[in-house]
Structure 1
């Protein structure tokens, strides 16, 4: 299990030498009424403004800084965001990067990878297929493997986001977190522990944590739907599973319709251009799947912005 000390040490590392890369993203506090929610305040952690357009930059940079990088560079499988973050970190450190993405990955994300100088390999129908191809390639080249969500350094890096929230605003009553493979919620839960209520949110069509809880262990699930490119891991990561078992009581499912409606609401009402995965926290509030108390301060992690603007209509 990761510790709060590890997260604090990672944040110091970022601030002392990499503040040009890891941004302190804004925490926007609004009255609940401004978002149509019956609670005291809604905090929007605007992590979609992070380098690479998602929270992933934190974990990927920490992974690269924590390990020797061979001449063959780094390698990762990703639906898009982890690859973009790894490619950006690799470019900042001046090392090679190879990214394996599934066919479901959006063209906009592939184009961003190429622009960052990564070698992009498109293979397989889903993230799990791209991961298997990536692992086989890593055995050939010896490149440093950066996992999208299931390495300690990745969770620790993600935990700095939660530490930043507390530094900026204090402790929220609840933190709503989108879940794919579990790297983000693992880091967030590892920092807040049970001092704030951490709520796991997944699409109905990609219920990796929800099904694991039903089975009592991580299991493979079929994944599809509007957020599959970001939340398309077919099995919850072991580290995320451990963290959620220890610190997360609630795991909720959301319809694709509610996710899409929240994504469009964020654009039309607040001019936040975000991907579907970033809209799950608002969807949980607007759909009533999460019902805050009237006096509650609820933090929504707006986790990614790698979206084609033409889709926001």
Structure 2
């Protein structure tokens, strides 16, 4: 198992510089996010928290995955290890989009395996990038098995949606950009599926002394269960955000990053994910996937009774004066759903 290092992320920063869009940040209105309760003896002046939205859904292909895909393909291009058979990947959609986009830039073929349940908007976009799309099974694990068979038979270069050091290191470049724009950043809040984005961000955050809050749906808790067990374990996948956060197992790389960074693990119910997503649309006209709204739901959900031992709360409340960045990581969704649910003016 490769343990991701800050050096891996530094190399990725150099490798993808000028090939991806720098992240934009937008402040949340003062007072919109509740802070943690103050102790009865605290007499210092109250200072509201400072929360920023990291608009990574504006990245190429609509998600952070473009960073890892660029780092992966560029590294193999530099090493002379891109085969004639091209690259293959199994994905819930976003990683496949990023892989196909990066492959097209290098003039190679991308064969992408998706569950048949993948959103139609993602399948359409994949084909627009020239990918050979194969719909297989109903869950990511089935698409992954088909992809592995294809790779063994053809010699294609096997990429991965999250469990590869080059993919995770590319994702970690996002934290470097956020820190440059928010001096004194205290905390980064990030949604977790299989753990590629989390591993990259947590590794960079640990190096800089930044707290990491890892947010997952209650019924899609691969990292939370892995932290609880102390080793990667399989979990059931049943969430409205499963198309992007639906990994059955988090990577060992993500577990190591969680342990090293002492990440704070939070689970949120689907109802709060839906509410956070709709709130972003109603108040900002931001249309993101349920997976992206999962991170914000940790700050907007009401406090809950602890769900499981590894989860001290069902939400995250910043302290007075805390500087927080919330990663909105993907926008490959159908905005018509949000428009239909918007309140009348």
TM-score, with structure 2 as normaliser: 0.87
Output the CA distance in 1 between the equivalents of 2:7 and 2:177. Answer: 14
Residue 225 of structure 1 corresponds to which residue in structure 2? 239
The answer for unaligned runs of 5 or more in structure 1 is none
Output the CA distance in 1 between the equivalents of 2:296 and 2:62. Answer: 19
Output the CA distance in 2 between the equivalents of 1:284 and 1:81. Answer: 22
Residue 98 of structure 1 corresponds to which residue in structure 2? 111
Residue 310 of structure 2 corresponds to which residue in structure 1? none
Output the CA distance in 2 between the equivalents of 1:305 and 1:89. Answer: 18
Residue 162 of structure 2 corresponds to which residue in structure 1? 149
Residue 4 of structure 2 corresponds to which residue in structure 1? 2
Residue 92 of structure 2 corresponds to which residue in structure 1? 79
For residues 18-56 of structure 1, the C-alpha deviation after alignment (integer angstroms, 9 at most, x for no partner) is: x2x4000202223442x3444421111100000000000
Residue 60 of structure 2 corresponds to which residue in structure 1? 51
Contact 1:76-1:134 at 8 Å conserved across structures: yes
Residue 332 of structure 2 corresponds to which residue in structure 1? 306
Q: Tell me the C-alpha RMSD between the 2 structures.
A: 1.2
Output the CA distance in 2 between the equivalents of 1:92 and 1:268. Answer: 36
Output the CA distance in 1 between the equivalents of 2:262 and 2:91. Answer: 25
Tell me whether 73-82 or 5-14 shows the greater mean CA deviation.
5-14
1:210 is displaced (CA, Å) by 1.2
For residues 224-257 of structure 1, the C-alpha deviation after alignment (integer angstroms, 9 at most, x for no partner) is: 2110000010000121121112113311100000
Contact 1:76-1:148 at 8 Å conserved across structures: yes
Contact 2:227-2:255 at 8 Å conserved across structures: no
The answer for unaligned runs of 5 or more in structure 2 is 36-47, 303-314
Residue 308 of structure 2 corresponds to which residue in structure 1? none
1:93 is displaced (CA, Å) by 1.0
For residues 169-193 of structure 1, the C-alpha deviation after alignment (integer angstroms, 9 at most, x for no partner) is: 2242111110000000100011010
Q: In structure 1, the residue corresponding to 2:28 is in which secondary structure?
A: strand
Output the CA distance in 2 between the equivalents of 1:192 and 1:36. Answer: 22
Give the number of aligned pairs: 308
- Partner of residue 144 from structure 2, selected from 114, 131, 134: 131
Contact 1:31-1:40 at 8 Å conserved across structures: no
Residue 70 of structure 1 corresponds to which residue in structure 2? 83
Residue 316 of structure 2 corresponds to which residue in structure 1? 290
Output the CA distance in 2 between the equivalents of 1:196 and 1:31. Answer: 22
- Partner of residue 185 from structure 1, selected from 198, 205, 222: 198
Q: In structure 2, the residue corresponding to 1:193 is in which secondary structure?
A: helix
Output the CA distance in 2 between the equivalents of 1:30 and 1:214. Answer: 32
- Partner of residue 27 from structure 2, selected from 20, 26, 29: 29
Q: In structure 2, the residue corresponding to 1:202 is in which secondary structure?
A: strand
- Determine whether 1:262 maps to 2:276: yes
Q: In structure 2, the residue corresponding to 1:230 is in which secondary structure?
A: helix
Q: Which has the larger radius of gyration?
A: 2
